[in-house]
Amino acid sequence: MSTFLLEVVTPERKVYAQDVNMVIVKGISGELGILPNHIPLVTPLKIAPIIIKKGNATELIAVNGGFMEVRKEKVVILAESAEFPGDIDVERARAAKERAEQRLGAKQDEVDFRRAELSLQRAMNRLDTASKK
């Protein structure tokens, strides 16, 4: 089976750098499956887990926004943050989800509403990814 190099990079560090068979991401326009020799492209990513296929194994990484660049032999995901399921503090994510839901329930201006909405999406992404480890 052919492979390509997948790199997941955050502002703090390189989270992942391995040869993989496939990566599945949620872009702004929908879900994308990237296989070796995919055409080059750049797309913004939604707050969602990425699925990595390597042989018969599947890995998940919770990615909170960013961009994906597909090149001939390499895919680079530049993410605001990225966490493996085992690294996610579930209690902290639950608390963040509850705070975001409370803020969404209160009357607020548009900026605060959007910030709470994004916070809720990030918390749900972490909880969803952690539950699939």
pLDDT digits 0-9 by tens, 26-58: 998 899 999 999 999 999 999 999 999 998 999
Q: How many angstroms separate the most distant Cα atoms in the chain?
A: 54
Say which CATH number the domain at 9 has.
2.60.15.10
Q: Residues 63, 103: one domain?
A: no
113: domain CATH number is 1.20.5.440
- Same domain? For 100 and 68 the reply is no
Q: What is the pTM of this model?
A: 0.80
Our count of domains for the chain comes to: 2
Confidence of residue 124 (pLDDT cuts 50, 70, 90): confident
pLDDT in tens, 58-107: 999 999 889 999 998 899 999 989 999 888 788 888 888 888 888 777 76
